Amino acid sequence: MGGIEELIGNLYRGLVRRGISMRVLASRPAGEALLEDDQGRIVRASKPGLKAFVLFSLFRGLPEAFRFRPDVILCGSLVAAPAGYLIARLLRRRYVVITYGSDLVHGGRMYRFALRFFLRRAERLVAISHFTRALFPGAGLDPDRAVLIPPGVDVSRFVGLPEPAPHELAEACEGRKVLLTVGRLVRRKGVLDFVQECLPELVRRHPDLLYVVVGEDARLSLIHNQEGMRARIESAISDAGLQGHVRLTGSLDERTLNWLLYRAELFLLPVLDLPGDKEGFGIVFLEAALGGTPSVAYSVGGVPDAIGEAGLLVQPGDFTAMIEAVSGLLSDETLRAKLGRAAERRAREEFNWDAICARYETLLRSTSRQIGLSTESQS
């Protein structure tokens, strides 16, 4: 599941728990559904894909809205904004759009026109990080209209190292220092560059190092589906003779992933600063934090908001500094433990979904024209 999809799913569940009545227009995933509901609150497109959802949200959204009569429309991304705008106009309601980062810098002339048209007419805009809000002027938007609400994390998933350990991975990690990356295999995540530029020296310094990469190619992504990043990473591993030090796991079930988040010595997401493709936040940093695992990353996009002071940030593109940061923490168990405790405390206190959903509820209630609130969430 991508970060945006996970945010929308958790936001939906959290708002329902808070007693908010909702109807959701959702895309049709090619694989398993990201949202499940047995009470008819989720209406899903019949086909997967961006165009299919835009058309579905427009033509199915209108009759759903007239039946449900929402007080406010929450658009989970710019893709849902056309339907949000139309429904708001016809029902004389207001709509709110969540913005991330790449959505504000990606696309050609028509995309940029649509972005400005629909976002300028929204009542409020949510920015998931300080970085996202800083992109507003370049997109022709007023940053003063942004409400800063970061993504949350499901703290209930993290109650200690799962037992028994997943046999195959536990065996591979036995006696090794584990460096972990979790995320879709796209260029922006920086795995290829890290393998080529940093990993050989790290393995020389730490012969027991194992780099575990969890994630698949982004086949269904709007802007990443032609990258074929896994094959390129595999080729780089082979060229550098690192087959014994890298494990590409593909997707993992939640229990196995949680085990890795607890087991790893360090979490790494060497995100690159690429034009037109920005990291708006990085929920996975919070998940690593809940496992007590400190993070190392480049200081790009919204990553500093996600890590805070509970990890190490490196200047973008400085491979030498990245090597030193990772190597230093691998060699310093005391500092790792200190950063890990600070990271876990921060994630639990500041980013739990109850706290985040309370902020969304306040925003939606202040946006609604009525005292009682029902919301239609489009994702």
**Residue-wise pLDDT tens digits, 218-228:** 764 444 445 68
Give the whole-number percent of the chain exceeding pLDDT 90: 68
Backbone angles phi, psi at 375, to 5 degrees: -130, 145
Q: What is the CATH number of the domain that holds 97?
A: 3.40.50.2000
What is this structure's pTM?
0.84
The string of pLDDT tens digits covering residues 30-44 is 555 555 665 668 888
Question: 164 with 285, same domain?
Answer: yes
Q: Tell me how far apart the terminal alpha carbons of the chain are, to the nearest angstrom.
A: 14
Q: What is the DSSP letter of 248?
A: E
Quickly state the pLDDT bin for 88 (edges 50, 70, 90): very high
Q: Is 196 exposed, middle or buried (0-12, 13-18, 19+ CB in 10 A)?
A: middle
Q: Which two tokens stand for residue 12?
A: 């939906």
C-alpha 355/C-alpha 67 separation (Å) is: 31
Question: 54 with 115, same domain?
Answer: yes
> Which residues on adjacent β-strands are paired with residue 75?
97, 378
Q: How many CB atoms lie within 10 A of CB 275?
A: 7
**Tokens 């200047």 belong to which residue?**
315
Question: 40 with 123, same domain?
Answer: yes
Say how many domains are in the chain. 2
Strands of the sheet containing 266-269, edge to edge, are 246-250, 209-214, 177-182, 266-269, 295-298, 311-314
Peptide bond connecting 164 to the previous residue in cis, omega within 30 degrees of 0: yes
More confident residue, 370 or 301: 301
Question: 26 with 127, same domain?
Answer: yes
Overall residue count recorded for the chain in this entry: 379
72 CB-side CA count, 13 A:
25
Q: How many CB atoms lie within 10 A of CB 216?
A: 14
Residue 207, pLDDT above cutoff 90:
yes
> Cβ distance 83 to 57 under 8 Å?
yes
C-alpha 310/C-alpha 316 separation (Å) is: 18
Question: 213 with 113, same domain?
Answer: no
> Cβ distance 7 to 75 under 8 Å?
no
C-alpha 120/C-alpha 106 separation (Å) is: 17
Q: Which two tokens stand for residue 115?
A: 């972005």
Instruction: Look at residue 106 and give its three-state secondary structure.
Output: coil
Residue 379, pLDDT above cutoff 70:
no
Question: 121 with 159, same domain?
Answer: no
The string of pLDDT tens digits covering residues 228-243 is 899 999 999 999 999 9
> Cβ distance 94 to 66 under 8 Å?
no
**Tokens 């990993």 belong to which residue?**
199
Question: 171 with 293, same domain?
Answer: yes
28-32, 242-246, 353-357: least confident range:
28-32
> Cβ distance 191 to 213 under 8 Å?
yes
Question: 169 with 39, same domain?
Answer: no
pLDDT score for 291: 96
Question: 41 with 167, same domain?
Answer: no
Residues of the domain holding 304: 155-350
C-alpha 338/C-alpha 354 separation (Å) is: 26
Question: 133 with 174, same domain?
Answer: no
Question: 305 with 163, same domain?
Answer: yes
More confident residue, 378 or 77: 77
C-alpha 74/C-alpha 79 separation (Å) is: 12
More confident residue, 162 or 234: 234
Residue 85, pLDDT above cutoff 90:
yes
104-108, 151-155, 326-330, 364-368: least confident range:
104-108
Amino acid at 3: G
Residue 108, pLDDT above cutoff 90:
no
Question: 24 with 123, same domain?
Answer: yes
Q: Give 58-79 as a DSSP string.
A: HHTHHHHHHHH--SEEEESSGG
Instruction: Look at phi and psi of residue 186 and say left if phi exceeds 0, alpha if psi is from -120 to 50, else beta.
Output: beta
